[in-house]
Amino acid sequence: MQPFYTEQQTLLANTMREFANEKLAPLAHEVDETEKFPTDQFRDLADLGVTGMTLPEEFGGSNGGYKDFMVVVEEIASACGSTSTVLITHVSLGAQTIYHGGSSAQRARWLPSLASGKKIAAFALTEPSTGSDALALETSLTRDGDDYILNGSKLFCTNGAVADIFSVFANQNKKAGHRGVTAIAVETGTPGFTINPQHGKMGMKGCATAELVFDNCRVPVANRLGKEGEGYRLALQILDSSRIMIAAQCLGLAKGALNAAISYSKSRITFGKPIATRQAIQFSLADMATELDAARLLTYRAASLYDEGLPHGKESAMAKLYASEAAGRIASKALQIHGGVGYFKPSPVERIYRDQRVTEIYEGTSEIQRLIISRTLLNDLIE
């Protein structure tokens, strides 16, 4: 990617790679085994300034673009999938929702502590009865004087068990379709708000997933993000851009798997020669590298469009769809190249194989990405 990245982005990638190899990779197995939230790793990322990377300097951020953040996410994901999920959720879902949905007072109130990593953000859209169909939200929001009353529950909330500030999407009027959904920031400790950690995930085990329960939870009107009825549009806007970072995460997972496969193929001897000398293995590595670069180009295009303020919904869906499925194929091939060893812990490819799977599900499944892309194609045809 040298011709595409600026000198500064290449430097950033080198710094992050060094950090990821030194500080994240050695702990990745432990995070996976213990389901422990990577607290120290998050703190290190905050010290490096990446927890507020895409926020403006006035809120403590470093004013970075999505191309910059893409470089960071790829390097982190290549060492520890869970830590990359934690960071993406904090930055491109949680903090970005407050930045784009929030008033200047709300930005000043919440963003500096998120940028510095003193506080952790989460994004709560999915519910027990609905994930892909965000219009079917059951969590209700009812106005009561200067407060709203929230009732309902959210599922699978990444960072949920440790987060301080949640962007919650709730329905004020189900009959009003997308105009019925409103976004509101809810802080941990608000009476009527309970957090129940969820265990038993297949991969990405360190990302503190939780169920959120709102039982007559009273939240000040001052916490509403945007106007009443603008929540659905805000959620889609944030998902359109955050998907670019899921694609970047897939680049990292795929790179981690490919590097492990290259290195193992050079050292594993069968029939008197390293398996890397066999054409079957060489062609497999060639296919993996080609798919990885194709995914990176799609991701880079989506991030460039975002940074230039241009429409990017279809392109971010394409990047997420292709990168996640390519990462699945690459992880599977890397595991195959490792033979039996790849099937056992603590092989990094065994962990990557499991971590990758959810990238085809969260922030919109592959089917939903195909829907987004095909709708755009069909609209283009009609116009």
Least Cβ distance, residue 304 to ligand FAD (angstroms): 25
Alpha carbon 268 to chain centroid distance?
34
Give the interface with ligand FAD as residue ranges (CB under 6 A). Answer: 89, 123-126, 130-132, 156-158, 201, 204, 209, 358, 361-365, 367-368, 371
Q: Is 123 helix (H, G, I), strand (E, B) or coil?
A: strand
As a whole number of angstroms, the distance between CA 157 and CA 89 comes to: 9
Question: Looking at the chain, how many residues does it have?
Answer: 383
Least Cβ distance, residue 39 to ligand FAD (angstroms): 18
Q: Which is nearer to ligand FAD, 260 or 368 (CB)?
A: 368
Q: Is 38 helix (H, G, I), strand (E, B) or coil?
A: coil
The answer to whether 150 and 214 have CB atoms below 8 angstroms apart is yes
Q: Which is nearer to ligand FAD, 205 or 333 (CB)?
A: 205
Q: Which is nearer to ligand FAD, 268 or 357 (CB)?
A: 357
Q: Which residues pair with 224 in a beta bridge?
A: 184
What is the chain's percent helix, strand, coil content, to nearest 5?
Answer: 60, 15, 25
Q: Which is nearer to ligand FAD, 9 or 209 (CB)?
A: 209
As a whole number of angstroms, the distance between CA 99 and CA 285 comes to: 41
**Minimal CB distance residue for ligand FAD:** 131
Q: Which is nearer to ligand FAD, 89 or 106 (CB)?
A: 89
Q: Which is nearer to ligand FAD, 59 or 362 (CB)?
A: 362
Structure tokens belonging to residue 54? 């895409």
Q: Which residues pair with 123 in a beta bridge?
A: 167
Least Cβ distance, residue 170 to ligand FAD (angstroms): 12
Options 33, 363, 367, 383, the catalytic residue: 363
- Ramachandran sector of residue 284 (left: φ over 0; alpha: ψ -120 to 50; beta: rest): alpha
Amino acid, res. 261? A
Q: Which is nearer to ligand FAD, 15 or 130 (CB)?
A: 130
Name which of 106, 105, 84 is nearest 95 in CA terms: 106
First to last CA, the chain: 36
User: Can 33 be counted among the known catalytic residues?
Assistant: no
The answer to whether 168 and 185 have CB atoms below 8 angstroms apart is yes
Question: What does the angle CA 192 – CA 195 – CA 199 come to, to the nearest 5 degrees?
Answer: 160
DSSP for 162-193, please give it. T-SEEEEEEES-GGGGGGGEEEEEEETT-TTE
Catalytic residue set: 363
